[in-house]
Amino acid sequence: MDSTQSTSFPKSLIKSFVVAHFYPVKVNEVYHDTDTAVVIGFDIPDELKAAFAFTAGQYINLRTYINEEEVRRSYSLCSAPSEQRWRIAVKLLPDGIFSNYAFHCLKSGDSIELMPPMGKFFTPLHPEQQKKYVAFAAGSGITPILSIITATLQTETKSSFTLVYGNKSRADMLFKEALEALKNKYMDRFILIPVFSRERVESPLNEGRIDAPKCAVLAKQAIDLSASEFFICGPFEMITIVKDFLLQKGIAEQHIHFELFTALHAKPRTAAIVYQVNKSVSASKVTLQLDGRSFQFPLAANGMSILDAAQQQGADVPYACKGGVCSTCRAKLLKGKVNMEVNYALEPDEVAAGFILTCQSHPASDEVWVDYDAK
């Protein structure tokens, strides 16, 4: 801790050492891939490309101001790292503040702020590996999956990939042309199985929803349950159904990777760090370390989260969803105890290593030290 400086909490100081978390970049591409989705590309300057290097399946946090109010969102990158392009897809939501802005107003040349990519929705790739991969995606859940499929087929020339992709209809298929191009390029190694819930098709296999009965049929007719890794991304209900099906079929949990886009109705991951609040603790001294410097503030055990308290003091600490889903606010607990209400994002090994989600954590000891710089 010798390299850190303990300071008071002036807003001017905070802004001076946390502003680097977001970088202003230009939008260089905007196009509608479907009637309800827009693809946005970003021009990352040469001097930032090292910081913005990413692994297939990762996401970026963005920040902009709409009607003078700050808006933050997390979106998965849909391009492969080898493409040296940073692109996201935004699905239009009726009440979505950013999605409506992106769909109707955003244009090439506009400026927006981005954090460097993060996330662990991937498995290591090696050119010499020969594996079978299976992915289940629905709707906009295709965005990280497309990145993963492209990178895998490019990197592991002996591996194969099967994608089960659910949509309402063909017209709703995000990245339909890109997936068809992958099919044509990797005819022997990539299998696409579209499933449509609101469109009649010739084969019963391609009609309906990705539910338990559909998984059973797919397992018999189309997918190989001996695959090395499984990826799932889409609505929570689909993720739960597919994951439970795979577990019932004997697939080890460490080979099932899933990404949540929302915490709605979601069941938190097991093995979350949850310490019972010490009833004798009325207020804690919380110390946060960020960008090599530390600062302190008092916080009641039964009050707001560590993240919210830091923001109230004027700190621009990293966050995006505030729902325990995206892990942007991830930090390491160095000292003391916390009560972490929910955890949808951290893996068991991260929890075991002492990492917490500060948006869900409350102090449970007289003193708490939290390090945002820990990796």
* 305-332 confidence digits (pLDDT tens): 999 999 888 787 888 888 888 888 999 9
**Which amino acid belongs to residue 347?**
E
Q: How far apart are CA 117 and CA 139, in angstroms?
A: 22
* Mean pLDDT score, 65-83: 95
DSSP characters for 254-284? GGEEEE-S--TTPPPPSS--BPPP-TT-SEE
**pLDDT(119) > 50:** yes
Q: How does pLDDT run across 262-302, given as a tens digit for each residue?
A: 654 444 544 344 444 444 557 899 999 888 888 899 998 88
- Euclidean distance between CA atoms 174 and 298, whole angstroms: 47
Per-residue pLDDT averaged across 57-74, rounded? 94
DSSP 3-state of 97: helix
Lowest-confidence segment of 21-25, 150-154, 252-256, 288-292 by average pLDDT: 288-292
* Tokens 């439970």 belong to residue: 244
**pLDDT, average across residues 37-61:** 97
Scanning 167-225, the segments in alpha helix (DSSP H) are 176-185, 212-221
Query: Please, are residues 232 and 238 in contact by the beta-carbon 8 Å criterion?
Result: yes
Q: Say if pTM beats, i.e. exceeds, 0.75.
A: yes
Q: Which residue ranges form the domains of the chain, and what is each CATH number?
A: 19-114 (2.40.30.10), 132-259 (3.40.50.80), 283-371 (3.10.20.30)
**Adjacency order of strands within the sheet including 367-371:** 6-7, 293-300, 283-290, 367-371, 330-335, 355-357
- Quick check: helix, strand or coil at residue 57? coil
Maximum alpha-carbon separation in the chain: 68
| For residues 89-103, average pLDDT | 95
- 103: enclosing H helix or E strand: helix 97-104
* Residue 151 contacts residue 81 (beta carbons within 8 Å): yes
CA distances from 239 to 121, 123, 136, 215 (A): 14, 18, 8, 12
pLDDT at 210 over 90: yes
The phi-psi region of residue 72 (left if phi > 0; otherwise alpha if psi is between -120 and 50; otherwise beta) is beta
